[in-house]
């Protein structure tokens, strides 16, 4: 009966929640600056009669109590921040903030959780337990809003027995969901290298320390960290993505800066690799006569879906949606700070299909033309509400 009720309410509320998504999409805010978004979320929760508190400056945590509130506690999470991308979509709700866009679907995530919250608040006499709503800032930028909210106690008072989050997937057709057990997404660490030495005239390289050459050897040499040290059956990526140095054709500069990312699926290998990176960088630079400064900014851990919760959630999704609409999520080397939650409590991070090939809605996340088939919002809010009302892990 609760499934039928949730579907009916999701269908009824979908136009309102789509309008909310339009507002959020038109007014994106960057990580840790989600002040207006946070205020908007709080106004919606007030309208639904849901008490809330602020955490991590712009994060919002709401509580909905059903019958017998202490019998089970489930957390539902959505992120709220946008990206520094100039939107190219020509839609009525395109971003009004130059250079800022909801290009990763966090407006969709927030809207779906608000829709789920409205449904759960209206049906709270029809389910048991407590649902904790987590509207989180700063997913797109280290150290990750999840880590800050955890430090401030978001997983306490009450402590959830599990946490569920969703993420848009434009490569999955609207109407479908996908789940994966165990490792789902990679850890992500940022690499910053500064190579310095005596610059000078390019015609007399023997009087200089050629930092361009040293940095070039670093770019090539660092590839051996993964290719010759990592287990080939454990995915890992090291990419140098920025090489900045020099300003003309005949001057060897004093400094070159490199930036990159390191990704891993195994936490033990992850930190072993940090040591290997440092050793390789220092050895190459020293051997070529340059000074080097290396910073590894430790970012998000792997996203790990608890096997037991995965089985429960996937079975619930099939019951709610139908077997043919639930698929397996592919392994991804992208990162998500949901991993902080899933390291501490059983987590389930699933994908919401938002693509529509027939309508040309296929652009990937983090692109200036990203958009969604908004029929997905009704599905996302309904599924999150159903999980909130029914999912339990022993």
Question: Do 122 and 64 fall into the same domain?
Answer: yes
Question: Do 292 and 203 fall into the same domain?
Answer: yes
Positions in the chain short of pLDDT 50: none
Question: Do 135 and 69 fall into the same domain?
Answer: yes
- Choosing from 34, 65, 81, 266, which is the catalytic residue? 81
Are residues 167 and 352 in contact, defined by beta-carbon separation less than 8 angstroms? yes
Question: Do 21 and 129 fall into the same domain?
Answer: yes
Q: Residue 393: its pLDDT value, please?
A: 84
Q: Is 81 labeled as catalytic in the residue annotation?
A: yes
How many structural domains compose the chain? Answer: 2
Question: Do 49 and 75 fall into the same domain?
Answer: yes
CATH code at 242?
3.30.70.360
Residue-number span of the structural domain to which 249 is assigned: 187-297
Instruction: Compute, in degrees rounded to 10, the torsion defined by CA atoms 42, 45, 51, 57.
Output: -20
Question: Do 276 and 354 fall into the same domain?
Answer: no
C-alpha distances in Å from residue 170, one per residue of 112, 316, 366, 369:
16, 23, 11, 11
Question: Do 18 and 92 fall into the same domain?
Answer: yes
Question: Do 284 and 380 fall into the same domain?
Answer: no
Question: Do 22 and 145 fall into the same domain?
Answer: yes
**Which of the listed residues 264, 279, 297 is the one where a domain comes to its end?**
297
Question: Do 227 and 171 fall into the same domain?
Answer: no
**Which of the listed residues 266, 297, 328 is the one where a domain comes to its end?**
297
Beta bridge partners of 243: 258
CATH code at 23?
3.40.630.10
Buried b (16+ CB within 10 A) or exposed e, 76-85: bbbbbbbbeb
Tokens of residue 275, six digits: 């040591």
Sheet holding 236-245, edge to edge: 236-245, 255-264, 187-196, 291-297
Beta bridge partners of 134: 61, 77
Question: Do 41 and 144 fall into the same domain?
Answer: yes
pTM score above 0.85:
yes
Q: What angle do CA 132, 136, 137 make, to 5 degrees?
A: 165
Q: Is 328 helix (H, G, I), strand (E, B) or coil?
A: strand
Tokens of residue 87, six digits: 């939107």
Q: State residue 220 phi and psi, 5-degree precision.
A: -70, -45
Q: Residue 12: its pLDDT value, please?
A: 98
**Which of the listed residues 273, 297, 321 is the one where a domain comes to its end?**
297
Q: Is 255 labeled as catalytic in the residue annotation?
A: no
Question: Do 164 and 57 fall into the same domain?
Answer: yes
- Choosing from 139, 306, 374, 378, which is the catalytic residue? 139
């Amino acid at each position: 009966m609760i499934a039928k009720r949730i579907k009916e309410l999701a269908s009824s509320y979908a136009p309102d929640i789509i309008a909310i998504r339009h507002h959020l999409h038109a007014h994106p805010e960057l990580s840790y600056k989600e002040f207006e978004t946070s205020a908007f979320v709080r106004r919606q929760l007030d309208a639904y009669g849901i008490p809330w508190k602020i955490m991590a400056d712009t994060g919002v945590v709401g509580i909905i109590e059903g019958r017998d509130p202490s019998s089970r506690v489930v957390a539902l999470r959505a992120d709220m921040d946008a990206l520094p991308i100039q939107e190219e979509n020509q839609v009525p709700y395109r971003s009004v903030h130059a250079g800022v866009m909801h290009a990763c679907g966090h407006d969709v995530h927030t809207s779906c959780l608000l829709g789920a919250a409205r449904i759960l608040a209206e049906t709270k006499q029809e389910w048991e337990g407590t649902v904790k709503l987590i509207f989180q800032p700063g997913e797109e930028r280290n150290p990750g809003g999840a880590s800050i909210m955890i430090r401030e106690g978001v997983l306490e008072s009450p402590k959830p027995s599990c946490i569920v989050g969703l993420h848009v997937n434009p490569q999955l057709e609207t109407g479908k969901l996908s789940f994966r057990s165990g490792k789902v997404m990679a850890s992500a660490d940022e690499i910053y290298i500064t190579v310095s030495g005596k610059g000078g005239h390019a015609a007399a390289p023997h009087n200089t320390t050629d930092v361009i050459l040293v940095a070039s050897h670093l770019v090539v040499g660092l590839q051996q960290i993964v290719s010759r040290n990592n287990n080939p059956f454990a995915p890992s990526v090291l990419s140098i993505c920025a090489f900045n140095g020099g300003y003309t054709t005949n001057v060897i500069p004093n400094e070159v800066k490199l930036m990159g990312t390191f990704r891993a699926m195994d936490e033990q290998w992850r930190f072993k690799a940090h040591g290997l990176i440092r050793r390789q960088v220092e050895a190459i630079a020293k051997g070529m006569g340059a000074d080097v400064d290396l910073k590894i900014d430790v970012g998000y851990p792997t996203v790990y879906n608890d096997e037991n919760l995965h089985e429960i959630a996937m079975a619930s999704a099939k019951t709610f949606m139908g077997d043919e609409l639930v698929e397996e999520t592919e392994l991804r080397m992208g990162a998500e700070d949901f991993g902080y939650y899933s390291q501490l409590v059983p987590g389930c991070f699933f994908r919401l299909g938002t693509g529509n090939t027939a309508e040309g809605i296929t652009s990937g996340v983090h692109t200036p033309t990203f958009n969604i088939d908004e029929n997905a919002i009704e599905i996302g809010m309904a599924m999150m509400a159903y999980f909130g009302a029914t999912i339990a892990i022993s």
